[in-house]
Amino acid sequence: MEDFFYPGSWDLLDLADDPPDLVHLHNLHNAYFDLRVLPWLSTRVPVVMTLHDCWLLTGHCAHPMECERWRTGCGMCPDLSIYPPLPRDNTANNWDRKRDLLGASRFFLAAPCDWLRERALGSLPPSSVRAAVTLPNGVDIEAFQPGDRRAARDRFGVPQDAVVALLVSNGGLANLWRDVRTLEEAVRAAAARLAPRRILLLVAGGLEERTRWGSVEVWSFPFLTDGSGLADIYRAADVFVHFARADTFPTVVLEAMACGLPVVATAVGGIPEQIADGETGLLVTPGAVGEAAEALTALLEDEAMRTRLAAAARRRAVAHFDERVMIERYLAWYAKILAGNGEC
């Protein structure tokens, strides 16, 4: 069974000097919250819950990939290794227990994209959701903005004459949510088309190493906690790639767009709500290697297209994904909830 034994959760309302007006919960599967507290908590104070993945809807996984068993009760799990992993298949019991606890709770639901909000509303007990809204995540559009590409490349030793694609991924190429096979085939195909141009794939978030995929140089950097360093990684690239097996509303896509970087990505989760296909980037079918290769090649070989999409990406990020706007929207929703106007 999933472990919910975190007794400190019962003291949540006593952590501050004054009682909270409301409690805002985010991901609850990172080994810190006892889900059995939720029914009690939601009778004491308004509870806002922002989903970031599908864990509350499944028997264990944050994303069910191609599996549809989460819709009907899980059990006979095809992959217990998906995060958060389980040592044995208790997914049906986990699914039932979550439904019982959520059904005994009442909370306000937020999701960063319509895709996740609609999934949640189609799965959660209807009585549990007092209201549901889509509030897109945002990024710091001042920290992440277009800058001096030459200086950014000099900072990381990236050759000025290279054509550069960038992946930002926690764990680098080992991230299980990334479709590395599609990525490798796509950059190899692009390199063949652009020969003899020098093609470089930067991977931010993995181990520091350099390798090759055929003629493609692959440079991996450790995860960058310095905001200016991460922004310069984006600025050093020509194209941002995000080929994912599953995702919700990836912040890295928003950061890339804010830095004026065209994005080629798989159309999974809420990514189609981030990228205006053909306007700020290119969307491809998940697992479609040929389609991904064509899209990446088109962007890397057409500087005019990159320039046009880059400018539009920045405009879209400023208009829709400014973190200050996200904060204002949440504060306005809090006010409605506390005024008794937050119900559906």
Q: What pLDDT score was predicted for residue 210?
A: 95
Residues 128 and 200 in one domain: no
**CATH code for position 194:** 3.40.50.2000
Average pLDDT taken over every residue of the chain: 95
Residues 153 and 121 in one domain: no
Dihedrals φ, ψ of 146, to 5°?
-60, 150
Residues 211 and 100 in one domain: no
Residues 40 and 161 in one domain: no
Confidence label for 5 from pLDDT (cuts 50, 70 and 90):
confident
Mean pLDDT over 232-246 rounds to: 98
pLDDT digits (tens, 9 = 90+) for 272-298: 999 999 999 999 999 999 999 999 999
Percent of the chain beyond pLDDT 90?
A: 92
Residues 278 and 202 in one domain: yes
pLDDT at 223 over 70: yes
Q: Answer whether residue 2 is part of any domain.
A: no
Domain count, the chain: 2
Q: Answer whether residue 1 is part of any domain.
A: no
Residues 303 and 197 in one domain: yes
Q: Which residues form the domain of 94?
A: 7-138+324-338
pLDDT at 3 over 90: no
Q: Answer whether residue 131 is part of any domain.
A: yes
Give yes or no for a contact between 173 and 134, defined as CB atoms under 8 angstroms apart: no
For 178, left (φ over 0), alpha (ψ -120 to 50), or beta? beta
Residues 118 and 262 in one domain: no
Q: Which of 26-35, 41-50, 110-119, 230-239 shows the lowest per-residue confidence on average (mean pLDDT)?
A: 26-35
pLDDT digits (tens, 9 = 90+) for 306-333: 999 999 999 999 999 999 999 999 999 9
Q: Answer whether residue 144 is part of any domain.
A: no
Residues 317 and 328 in one domain: no
Confidence label for 31 from pLDDT (cuts 50, 70 and 90):
confident
Q: What pLDDT score was predicted for residue 253?
A: 99
Mean pLDDT over 59-75 rounds to: 96
Residues 242 and 124 in one domain: no
pLDDT at 64 over 70: yes
Residues 58 and 127 in one domain: yes
Residues 124 and 183 in one domain: no
Rounded to whole angstroms, the Cα distance separating 36 from 3 reads: 11
